Every structure is written in structure tokens, then in C-alpha cells.
Amino acid sequence: MVDVLLYALAAGLLLALISGPLGTLVVWQRMAYYGDTLAHSALLGVALGLVLQVNVQLAVLLTCCALALALTALQRWRATTLDSLLGIFAHSGLALGLVAISLLSGRPVDLNAFLFGDLLAVDRAQLLQLAAVVAVVGALLARTWHSLVSIAAHAELAAIEGLPVARLRLLMMLLIAITVATAMKAVGVLLVTALLIVPAATAGRVGRSPEQVALGAIAAGMLAVSGGLAGAWWLDTPAGPSIVLCAAALFFATALLPAARR
Amino acid sequence: MSTEAAELLRLEGAGLARDGQWLLQDIDLSLVAGQIVSLIGPNGAGKTTLVKLVLGLLTAERGRVWRRPGLRIGYMPQRLQLNPAMPMTVNRFLALSRAPRTAIAAALAETGIAALGSSPMQDISGGETQRVLLARALLRRPQLLVLDEPAQGVDIAGQTELYELISALRDRLGCGVLMVSHDLHWVMAQTDSVVCLNQHICCHGHPAHISSDPAYLSLFGERHAHALAPYRHRHDHRHDMHGDVVNAKPQPQNAATDREQGRG
């Protein structure tokens, strides 16, 4: 039985390694809604995976990436209406996914696992998959971090200084999509954005440099995962919501700290 | 001296439309090393659009934009709004350009904010932020400086000082300058050429000629133009960033001696 907890813990900690820095980028660029859209549409990927009888995880990943590409194209086409477009995508994606899954009669589908996550069900094979995803995303992120920070600070200056802003933005969108698709396993589609945003916002209050915020977000994410899993183990609460609650508790705790920065 | 008339950038009949409406039409503009060209016009005249065309952030749908091959452009955006959740020091902000540390220190000194390197960006004043942006533009070692309302959010005394700094930089670096400005006093007194924009170029030329041009008068109002006409800006002292008078040696002289020493 302890294996179950160890796998879950390892998966959560690995996830925090990429959700921390990507979450800070999401917070800096005020893209929370974008994360929501991806996450909610991930349920569409679940439905697709079930209909086509392919690996659900893979279907979710591809759906999120396809949506990231579509949204990037839309943004370039017309930037002003993106906000409402995101709202339409987010909720119609979620609704369509729910309807499609319910229509798949004859197959028992545990909707809760997709909506709220099922970290304690992670097995050895899934853990290895997750480690591979984290390694690839982490490496790409480390390589482009400096440029992505520059774009988050001022995109036009970054462009004039020679950075390929459009390509880097696309890469970041895809990395977020991959992270959302992967983190869905842990906390579910409804809470994925919280795992991105809350640790990053917590660290943003304490850090003094972009790197400190990113590392702080990793640390806060890891603390939340550990605390949430401890709650799930001993109090028998659902793991995903417990993790998000822990992250939120950390956020409010730092808000109560004596003004660290100013 | 031989490069005095070197053309840096030229727009020929450039135009740009959005949603079937022309934002800019038939723009002819030439930017030359060592010259300050200021861009004036009412709100919505397309000044920022023209700046983005010059910078290459937007592409012209009509006409053409020629840039000297390898042209280095330094850009100072209208304003900087860093996300409060994105803490960074002035030094770190300047390092985003990937310039070496020594160059950053030099740019800070050149813009008069050498002491601010380790201050958080969120803690410095509006005038200081504009200087940081100017410093970042200088890190490009620009042949052309493009400034979009550089004095926005800066108090009056700080504005004068900022404008003088820009003039001094032009003299020292020999770069061309394109600047959007609302400050007609400064535009008329200090710039080599004025472009008056309202979707197209209404009039274009030396400030003295522009201020009596009917197109200019109709755009800015005769009363305002007459009020400006007798004004000659002659500054015999300097202000610090807080507006206090500082009777130090003027910046350009310092620069000149620095350069002499550097050569010798």
C-alpha cells in the first residue's frame, strides 16, 4: 500500500517541477483564463480517447496541443476578441466533453477521476511517462527561460532585440498545454489551473527576482502536493482538492506574513 | 563626419489598413544619422502605428520600408507596466537584453541613474523608469533611437532634463532620432525636422516653417501656434530628477571631454 503513496508523491513532486515555472509565466502574462480553457477542453480529449479507443492520456495531450495551436492562430488573426473566445471555448469544451462521455453507454467511466484527479491511482508505467514529459518540458523551459521572461516583461522590446517572439510564444503555449494535459491526472480538469496559478502567486509575493519566483513556485507546489497527499492518506479526503486547498492555504499564509518585500 | 548625411531608414508611400480602414496612408519619411525628427499629431493620428512600422513590428501593406542593412535600432516604448508579481531589479531588467554587465553599468551612468542598479523596478519613480527604458535602448548601441512619448508620466522639470539628455545622446552617439512628442515647445526649439501626422503626413519640414504651415495651424489651432511662435527655449541650468536646479557643468561638455580622452 505504501507503494501507492510513494508513486503518487513522486508524480506530484515531478509535476510541481514544471507547473511552478510555467505557472509563473501564466501569472505574469495574465493567462489564467487560457489555462482554464485548455483544462476544460481536456475533457473533450477524454471523450475523443474513449470514442476512438486510444490511450486517453495521449488523446488529452493531443487535444490540448491542437487547441493551443488554434488559439495562437486565432490570437494572431484578431487579438481583441480573444477573451470572449476563450470563455466560449472553455465552457463549450467542458460541456461537450461531459455530454460525449455520458453518451458512451455500456462503458463504465469514472467521471470524478477526470474532473478532480486521481493521483493515488498512478502506477509505475504512468510515473515513468510523467518523468519523461517533465524531463522534456523542463529542458525546453530551461533553454528558453531567459527569453520567455524577457517577453513577459515587454514583448515589443524583446522583438526589437531580436527574439523570435511569435515562435517562443507558441512554444510556451504548447508547454502549458502539455503541462495541463499531464497535471489533469493529478488534480483533474476543474482544478488544473489552480495548480499552475496558486503556487506562482504565492511565490510572487516573496521572491525578489524572476528566478526566485519560479523556484519558490516549485517549492510551494511541492509543499502543497505533500500536504494534500498527507491529508488524503490520513483523513481520507480526495487528493486533488486537498492539494489545491493546501496551495491556497500557503498563499494566504504568505499574505499574512509581515511585509517581506516592502 | 563623413556619415553625417547617411540615410538610416526610408519609407516610400507606406500604408497600413485595419478592418478596411487606413491607419496610415502615403507615408514618405527619411531618417538620417545625427538628426532628430519629431512626430506630432492629434490622438488617433497613427503616431504609434508609424513608430511600429519603422521598428518593423508591423509591416506595410502598401509602399515600402527600406532599412540600412544591419541597422541597430534602440526603442524606448511609451510606458512600461511590469506585472507587480514579476519582481526584478533595474539591473535584471536591463540584463534581459543580454548585454554584458559592464555595458549595463555604462548605460546606467549615461542616463544618470547609476545608483539605481539594484533597486526593484516597482519602487522607482516615473521619471526614473523612463531613464531605465532609455538605458535599455542604449544597450543596443543604436544607430537609430526611436522614442514613443519619452516624457510621459514625468513631471515638467524632469521632462526638460530628459529631453536635454536625448539631445546630448544624439550629439555623442551621432545616431538618428525619431520621437513622438506632445511637447510642442521642445519640438519647435530642439528638433531638426517635424512631421505632422494625421493618418497621412499633413506637413513636414523645419520647425520654423512648420509652425506657419496652414496644415499645422488647422491641426493644432492658430491660437496655440501663435503662443508658441515667439518662444525660444534656452536653458542655462540643469534640473535633477526632482526638479531642483543643479548648476553643474552641462552634460554635452562632459561627454566631449570624455570622448577626447577616450581617443587620446
Chain-chain contact of B75 with A160 (C-beta, under 8 angstroms): yes
DSSP B78-117: S-----TTS--BHHHHHHTTT--HHHHHHHHHHTT-GGGT
Quote the cell numbers at residue A55: 490511450
- Contact by Cβ (8 Å): B67, A187: no
Within 10 angstroms of residue A227's Cβ, the number of other Cβ atoms is 17
Which of A29, A156, A261 faces B77 most closely, judged by CB atoms?
Answer: A156
**Is the pLDDT assigned to residue B228 strictly greater than 80?**
no
**The pLDDT of residue B1:** 40
Contact A209/B57, CB-based, under 8 Å?
no
Decide if A209 and B123 are in contact by the 8 Å CB cutoff.
no
What pLDDT sits at residue A230?
94
Of A28, A146, A262, the CB nearest to B86: A28
A227 to chain B, closest Cα gap in Å: 25
- Report whether pLDDT(B243) > 70: no
Q: Distance from A204 to chain B by nearest Cα, in Å?
A: 5
- Residues sharing a CB contact under 8 Å with residue A235, sequence separation 6 or more, in sequence order: A242
pLDDT band at B240 (very low <50, low <70, confident <90, very high): low
Q: What are the C-alpha distances in Å from B7 to residues B37, B187, B195?
A: 13, 21, 17
- Residue B113: pLDDT band with limits 50, 70, 90: very high
pTM over 0.90? The answer is no
Q: Is A209 on the interface with B (CB under 8 A)?
A: yes
ipTM: 0.86
CA-based nearest residue in chain B for residue A164:
B57
- For the segment B7-15, the average pLDDT, to the nearest whole number, is 89
CA distances to A37, A83, A180 from A32, rounded to whole Å, are: 9, 11, 12
Res. B5 pLDDT band, cuts 50 70 90: low
Inter-chain residue contact B96 with A208, CB threshold 8 Å: no
Cell numbers describing residue B193:
525636422
Specify burial of residue B8 (Cβ count, 10 A radius: 0-12, 13-18, 19+).
Answer: buried
Helices A32-52 & A82-103 angle (0-180, nearest 10)? 30
- Chunked into runs of 10 residues, chain A (262 residues) has average pLDDT values of 86 94 93 86 87 86 90 71 75 86 73 85 89 96 96 94 93 93 85 91 92 97 95 90 94 79 46
Whether residue A76 lies within 8 A of chain B, CB to CB, comes out as no
Radius of gyration for the alpha carbons in chain B, expressed in angstroms and rounded: 19
| Residue A223, pLDDT score | 96
Residue B121 pLDDT greater than 80, yes or no: yes
- Helix (H) or strand (E) holding A51, with range, is helix A32-52
Question: Which residues are CB-neighbours of A69 under 8 A, at least 6 positions away?
Answer: A170, A173, A174
Chain B residues with beta carbon closer than 8 angstroms to that of A212: 87
Are B86 and A201 an interchain contact pair (Cβ–Cβ within 8 Å)? no
Cβ-based contacts of A207 with chain B (< 8 Å): 87
Contacts of B80 in chain A (CB under 8 A): 154
Phi-psi region for residue B112, left (φ > 0), alpha (ψ -120 to 50) or beta? Answer: left
Q: Is the pLDDT of residue B252 over 50?
A: no
Q: Touching check for A145 and chain B: CB below 8 Å?
A: no
Split at pLDDT 50, 70, 90, the class of B104 is very high
pLDDT band at B207 (very low <50, low <70, confident <90, very high): confident
Chain A residue numbers with beta carbons less than 8 Å from the beta carbon of B52 are 156
pLDDT of residue A112: 83
Of B73, B85, B98, the CB nearest to A204: B85
Distance CA B248, CA A90 (A): 61
Cell of A62: 493531443
Looking at residue B120, its amino acid is: P
Query: Nearest-CA neighbor of A21 among A172, A185, A187, A131?
Result: A172
* Spatial separation of the C-alpha atoms in residues B169 and A159, rounded to whole Å: 23
Mean pLDDT of chain B: 80
Three-class SS of residue B75? Answer: strand
The A residues from 12 to 71 touching B (CB cutoff 8 Å) are 24, 27-30
Q: In chain B, what percentage of residues exceed pLDDT 70? A: 81
